[in-house]
């Protein structure tokens, strides 16, 4: 069987990773610091990352299609980012007090993603979505949040509902369920689940508008669905119903911000939300997140006054590392590079070539495959129907997807199971050629059994 062959090849080439895992599992649950790093039979431990490649602790070289889960759009260790960080380390690492760098980066973000009229920096995408939801509740005086089945908004309680744990209830009116243990029932009850890319969601928002503070959506559902963009007419209808009913529309642009273009998903789709959340790319490879949007909203509930009324009228937003100068310097360098060079045309063309190449190889090998994505993002679904929603994605053959990813990994292409792939500015034509060569080889071996 091909899977056994691929796993055996992975084990044979990664003995040092296995040794580290056996030690690490005594101190780190699963041997890692995050579920995204976990892999069966054991995780891959990386020693070096430069450009479009990573090298593991055994010295194996991989063409990297994870791209720091989309954060490294310029490639790993871009020279301008490393230079900016080195210079900033000599000035200040963490003074706690404000620096001019956070002002400069906020101005850049606001200029490029113009719906973010004011913003606050935090330290991760999870923090950004959590704070945006809280700000919406403070501004509207309403408590419930609506989110879409299969959308991922980070690891906090309000996010981990109906993402992985989807498929309950009618498709047009899905039920909320926790994605993991430890989520309070009270939070689950305060999250209204909506069907993604389904106009039935518009009726649900209208029906529950009186109790909804916000609707949050991934304009491109990346992780729990797999690189599936929202349909433009659906986004327009969602904008209309939320605007008519005073419900805040939140775009989770942690993936799409500076990935689809300098203006993010709002500019790409031509739909302007009330609030947005960003992370990944805007930090230049360093920890970051930000939430922001309408000036009137941010001024009312985020700007502190240090008055007793703040306890009832304001939404608290702070953090020791928020706006830290290292992430700010890296982010400024990254945005400068993205403005200076035609990155989006380049990575978009490579993304298109990879999607087309995978689809062609699958047809030749006799597999029914849907290759979703947009721009420089892609995902492979072993399915015989178009994937536009979580339920369609759930019907795909996930065992085949795991087999496919392990095949790639065993042959020097880094794309772990269930994660979308990303192209970056450091990928070359030779990288793409090698990716498609290995894809074709893996699919032929899978077909042969």
Last residue of a domain, one of 340, 372, 392: 340
In this structure, the answer to whether residues 382 and 311 fall within a common structural domain is no
The Cα–Cα gap between 10 and 186 comes to 44
- How crowded is residue 244: how many other Cβ atoms within 10 Å of its Cβ? 11
pLDDT tens digits, residue range 133-161?
999 999 999 999 999 999 999 999 999 99
Task: Give the number of other Cβ atoms within 10 Å of residue 179's Cβ.
Answer: 18
Is there a single domain that holds both residue 95 and residue 233? Answer: yes
pLDDT (tens digit per residue) in 258-275: 999 999 999 999 999 999
CATH number at residue 30: 3.90.1150.10
| Catalytic pick among 152, 196, 344, 402 | 152
Number of domains in the chain: 2
In terms of Cβ atoms closer than 10 Å to its own Cβ (0-12, 13-18, 19+), residue 398 is middle
Single out the residue in 285, 308, 340 at which a domain terminates. 340
- Catalytic site residue 37? no
Q: How far apart (Å, rounded) are the C-alpha atoms in residues 116 and 110?
A: 5
Distance (Å, rounded) from C-alpha 411 to C-alpha 46? 16
Q: What is the pTM of this model?
A: 0.97
Burial 12-28 (b: 16+ CB within 10 A, else e): ebbeebeebbeebeeee
- pLDDT beneath 70: ranges in the chain: none
- Residues 24, 66 contacting (CB under 8 angstroms): no
Paired tokens of 169: 């209830």
Please tell me which residue in 64, 198, 280, 344 is annotated as part of the active site: 280
Catalytic residue among 252, 390, 402, 431: 252
Query: Are 292 and 225 in the same domain?
Result: yes
User: Does the annotation count 252 as an active-site position?
Assistant: yes
Are 169 and 276 in a shared domain? yes
- Residue 333 shares a structural domain with residue 228: yes
Segments in 99-148 forming alpha helices (H): 100-112, 125-140
pLDDT of residue 336: 98
Task: Identify the domain boundary among 301, 318, 340.
Answer: 340
Same-domain status, 43 and 63: yes
Residue 273 and residue 359 share a domain: no
Is the domain of 283 the same as that of 167? yes
Domain, as residue range, for 322:
79-340
pLDDT of residue 18: 98
**Same structural domain, 222 and 318:** yes
Domain identity same for 299 and 408: no
346 assigned to active site: no
305 and 205 share a domain?
yes
In this structure, the answer to whether residues 254 and 396 fall within a common structural domain is no
CB neighbour list of residue 263: distance below 8 Å, 6 or more residues apart: 112, 113, 114
CATH of the domain at 129: 3.40.640.10
């Amino acid at each position: 069987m091909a899977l056994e062959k691929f796993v055996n090849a992975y084990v044979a080439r990664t003995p040092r990773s296995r040794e580290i895992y056996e030690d690490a599992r005594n101190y780190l649950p699963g041997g890692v610091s995050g579920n995204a790093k976990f892999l069966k039979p054991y995780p891959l431990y990386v020693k070096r990352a430069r450009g479009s490649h990573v090298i593991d602790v055994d010295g194996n070289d991989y063409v990297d299609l994870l791209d720091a889960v989309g954060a490294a759009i310029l490639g790993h260790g871009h020279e301008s980012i490393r230079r900016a960080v080195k210079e900033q380390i000599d000035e200040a690492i963490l003074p706690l007090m404000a620096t001019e760098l956070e002002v400069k980066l906020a101005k850049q973000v606001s200029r490029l993603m113009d719906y973010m009229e004011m913003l606050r920096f935090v330290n991760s995408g999870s923090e950004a979505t959590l704070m945006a939801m809280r700000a919406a509740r403070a501004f509207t005086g309403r408590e419930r949040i609506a989110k879409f089945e299969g959308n991922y908004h980070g690891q906090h309680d309000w996010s981990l509902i109906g993402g992985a744990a989807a498929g309950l209830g009618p498709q047009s009116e899905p039920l909320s369920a926790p994605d993991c243990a430890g989520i309070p029932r009270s939070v689950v009850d305060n999250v209204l689940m909506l069907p993604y890319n389904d106009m039935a969601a518009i009726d649900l928002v209208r029906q529950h508008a009186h109790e909804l503070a916000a609707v949050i959506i991934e304009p491109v559902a990346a992780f729990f669905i797999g690189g599936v963009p929202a349909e433009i007419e659906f986004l327009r209808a969602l904008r209309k119903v939320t605007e008519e009913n005073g419900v805040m529309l939140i775009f989770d642009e942690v993936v799409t911000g500076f990935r689809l273009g300098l203006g993010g998903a709002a500019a790409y789709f031509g739909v302007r939300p009330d609030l947005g959340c960003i992370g990944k790319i805007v930090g230049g490879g360093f920890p970051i997140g930000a939430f922001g949007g309408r000036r009137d909203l941010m001024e009312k509930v985020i700007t502190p006054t240090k008055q007793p009324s703040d306890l009832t009228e304001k939404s608290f937003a702070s953090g020791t590392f928020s706006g830290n100068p290292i992430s700010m310097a890296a982010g400024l360098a990254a945005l400068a590079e993205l403005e200076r060079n035609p990155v989006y045309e380049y990575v978009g063309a490579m993304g298109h070539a990879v999607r087309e190449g995978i689809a062609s190889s699958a047809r030749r090998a006799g597999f029914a495959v849907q290759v979703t994505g947009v721009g420089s993002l892609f995902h492979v679904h072993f399915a015989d129907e178009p994937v536009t929603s979580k339920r369609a994605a759930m019907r795909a053959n996930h065992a085949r997807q795991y087999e496919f990813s392990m095949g790639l990994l065993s042959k020097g292409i880094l794309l772990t199971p269930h994660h979308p792939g990303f192209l970056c500015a450091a990928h070359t034509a030779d990288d793409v050629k090698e990716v498609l060569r290995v894809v074709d080889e893996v699919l032929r071996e899978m077909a042969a059994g």
